């Protein structure tokens, strides 16, 4: 059974190995799961993932793939050699792209004799509000769009989605109890929203049906990251 602590994913949005090592040392065993996103992966590449493995940390590899099905298929196969626990694709890439990723992940993981990474569809970024959503040509609300994308992901064989905590309850009702919901946009009771538009506290996100919470700046920018992580876990526990 997954513990509350294991449901917290710290966004390791850092660009030097020294800062990644320092963060791992500071937080220690308070956190077991880290997100390696575009900043850290593009800056550090395989070294960031090797460091996670050396410290026995689970990795959420968040690169948000979005391309034609063939390119995404080959990219997913390449990423499987890093053995991430979860990785992401933009749901807007469409059913054919998503199905190609699912097939590629299964094939590559079987060849590598390892567990297949969970594949998550990115729905609508948590920094986007209704005004920005309409500005790029969308006529449906964010909530309706997220639900349509989540259902498409489910029907395409994806394991879950990344969505704001404000849509988590509706996704859970639409897609069922086994569909993974990973929520960024988490701000503790004491935290500032920053550039996030659709946020919730840790406890609110879990009540809404989230499986995992992704938290970056409220931990990384804290004077004491370890204490900040521990306090967030306490909030998650209610």
Looking at the structure of the chain, the number of domains it has is 1
Mean of per-residue pLDDT scores for the chain: 94
pLDDT of 143-160, one tens digit each? Answer: 999 999 999 999 999 999
Residues belonging to the chain:
238
Which residue from 88, 91, 97 is spatially nearest to 62, judged by alpha carbons?
88
Report whether pLDDT(193) > 70.
Answer: no
Q: What is the pLDDT of residue 194?
A: 58
CA distances in angstroms from 107 to 77, 116, 121, 133, 152, listed in the order given:
8, 9, 19, 36, 22
Is the pTM higher than 0.85? The answer reads: yes
Taking residues 199-217, what's their average pLDDT?
A: 93
- Residues with Cβ within 8 Å of 104's Cβ and at least 6 positions away in sequence, in order, are 72, 73, 74, 76, 77, 80
State both tokens at 223. Answer: 């004077």
At residue 203 the predicted structure's pLDDT band, cuts being 50, 70 and 90, is very high
At residue 197 the predicted structure's pLDDT band, cuts being 50, 70 and 90, is low
Q: 215 pairs with which residues across the strands?
A: 10
Report whether pLDDT(196) > 70.
Answer: no
At residue 190 the predicted structure's pLDDT band, cuts being 50, 70 and 90, is low
Domain assignment of residue 154, given as a range: 5-237
Q: What contacts 24+ positions apart, CB below 8 Å, involve 20-28? A: 20/44, 20/48, 20/51, 21/51, 23/220, 23/225, 24/51, 24/55, 24/57, 26/224, 26/225, 26/226, 27/219, 27/225, 27/226, 27/229, 28/226
Taking residues 202-230, what's their average pLDDT?
A: 95
Which residue from 135, 67, 58, 62 is spatially nearest to 96, judged by alpha carbons?
67
Report whether pLDDT(198) > 80.
Answer: no
Taking residues 210-236, what's their average pLDDT?
A: 95
CATH classification at residue 84: 3.20.20.70
Enumerate the active-site residues.
Answer: 64
């Amino acid at each position: 059974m997954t513990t509350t602590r294991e449901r917290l994913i710290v966004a390791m949005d850092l660009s030097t190995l020294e800062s990644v090592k320092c963060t791992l040392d500071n937080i220690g065993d308070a956190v077991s799961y880290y997100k390696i996103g575009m900043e850290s992966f593009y800056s550090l590449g395989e070294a960031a993932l090797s460091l996670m493995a050396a410290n026995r940390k689970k990795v959420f590899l968040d690169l948000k793939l979005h391309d034609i099905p063939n390119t995404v298929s080959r990219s997913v196969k390449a990423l499987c050699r890093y053995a991430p626990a979860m990785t992401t694709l933009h749901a807007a890439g469409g059913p054919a792209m998503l199905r190609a990723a699912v097939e590629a992940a299964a094939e590559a993981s079987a060849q590598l004799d390892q567990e297949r990474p969970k594949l998550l569809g990115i729905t609508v970024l948590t920094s986007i509000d209704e005004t920005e959503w309409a500005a790029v040509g969308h006529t449906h609300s964010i909530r309706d769009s997220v639900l349509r994308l989540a259902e498409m992901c489910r029907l395409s064989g994806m394991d879950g989605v990344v969505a704001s905590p404000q849509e988590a309850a509706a996704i859970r009702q639409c897609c069922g109890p086994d569909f993974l919901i990973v929520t960024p946009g988490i701000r503790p009771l004491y935290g500032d929203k920053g550039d996030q538009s659709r946020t919730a506290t840790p406890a609110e996100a879990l009540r809404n049906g989230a499986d995992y919470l992704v938290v970056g700046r409220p931990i990384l920018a804290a004077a004491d990251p370890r204490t900040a992580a521990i306090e967030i876990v306490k909030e998650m526990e209610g």
